[in-house]
Amino acid sequence: MTIDLSPVITIDGPGGSGKGTVGQRLAWRFGWEFLDSGALYRLVGLCALGRDIKLDSVREIANIARNLEAQFAVKEGDFGTEGIILLEDQDVSSKLRTEDCASAASQVAQYDDVRQALLERQRAFRVEPGLVADGRDMGTVVFPDAQLKVFLTASAEIRAERRFKQLKTKGMSASLSAILADIQARDYRDTHRSVSPLIPADDAVILDTTLMSVDDVEQKVLELAKSRFLQLGGLS
């Protein structure tokens, strides 16, 4: 018996490469589900920080990942419908975007038990009519059979600048040099860990976005998706 799984586009890359924005826009355009897998690692990190659990207590952190009570929801905000993330019924969307949370996420993401605990939860996002999944190991581990795999890169400096502007727009305080240092530390941890490191899948299309706007990247991935899904029978 063959099971027809819904189509998946994976967008992997380091923090600040634009994968979240582009992934979300494409999912919206296609009417597909969107998985922000980094948010799951951030939720585990946030939960551990909130409970004063040391980030190297692998057993306790894996337990948090196994029992994570999180929901991805939408609410009507000042600027229209916006996606929000609930942890034990509390809206933690803003907290999740802080650098502390990003750093905690990168640390807890090193543990295989934590990654295993989140694996099925991520795969459950694969529903009809399709899924756009963003993260670090979407194309290599979580959805190795994805129909289109994209890997975005950009220099650490430009990614730090993008993050800086993003935080400023949200009215959050930020220091460019601190963000750059965090990004470099996170890049190192994410690419050097022994389980599911940040690397492009063999069959991924690699795009350097250093000199591209978000609109350019969206357009490029859209073209790739159209040609790939056309070959596969059309993207409706």
State yes or no: residue 126 binds ligand DC (CB under 6 A): no
State yes or no: residue 42 binds ligand DC (CB under 6 A): yes
Contact 75, 81 (CB under 8 A): yes
C-alpha span between 99 and 137 (Å, rounded): 21
Candidates 50, 55, 42; CA nearest to 15 is: 42
- Find the binding residues for ligand DC in span 214-233 (CB under 6 A): none
Candidates 16, 216, 233, 228; CA nearest to 132 is: 228
Return the residue nearest ligand DC (CB atom): 38
Count other Cβ atoms within 10 Å, centred on residue 222: 16
CB nearer ligand DC, residue 37 or residue 147: 37
State yes or no: residue 163 binds ligand DC (CB under 6 A): no
Q: How far is the CB of 233 from ligand DC (least distance, A)?
A: 28
Judged by CB under 6 A, how many residues of this single chain contact ligand DC? 14
Q: How far is the CB of 3 from ligand DC (least distance, A)?
A: 24
Amino acid identity of residue 178, one-letter, is: A
State yes or no: residue 182 binds ligand DC (CB under 6 A): no
Candidates 23-31, 34-42, 145-153, 210-218; binding stretch for ligand DC (CB under 6 A): 34-42
Buried b (16+ CB within 10 A) or exposed e, 100-139: ebbbbbbbbbbbeebbebbeeebeebbeeebbbbbbbbbb
State yes or no: residue 15 binds ligand DC (CB under 6 A): yes
Give me the residue label for tokens 């975005």.
152
State yes or no: residue 99 binds ligand DC (CB under 6 A): no
Half-sphere exposure of residue 128: CA atoms within 13 angstroms, side-chain side: 2
Tell which one of 17, 64, 117, 136 touches ligand DC (CB under 6 A). Answer: 136
- Find the binding residues for ligand DC in span 100-119 (CB under 6 A): 102, 105-106, 109
CB nearer ligand DC, residue 159 or residue 235: 159
Q: How far is the CB of 36 from ligand DC (least distance, A)?
A: 7
C-alpha span between 10 and 225 (Å, rounded): 11
State yes or no: residue 147 binds ligand DC (CB under 6 A): no
C-alpha span between 187 and 54 (Å, rounded): 21
Residues within the interface to ligand DC (CB under 6 A): 15, 37-38, 41-42, 102, 105-106, 109, 135-137, 186, 190
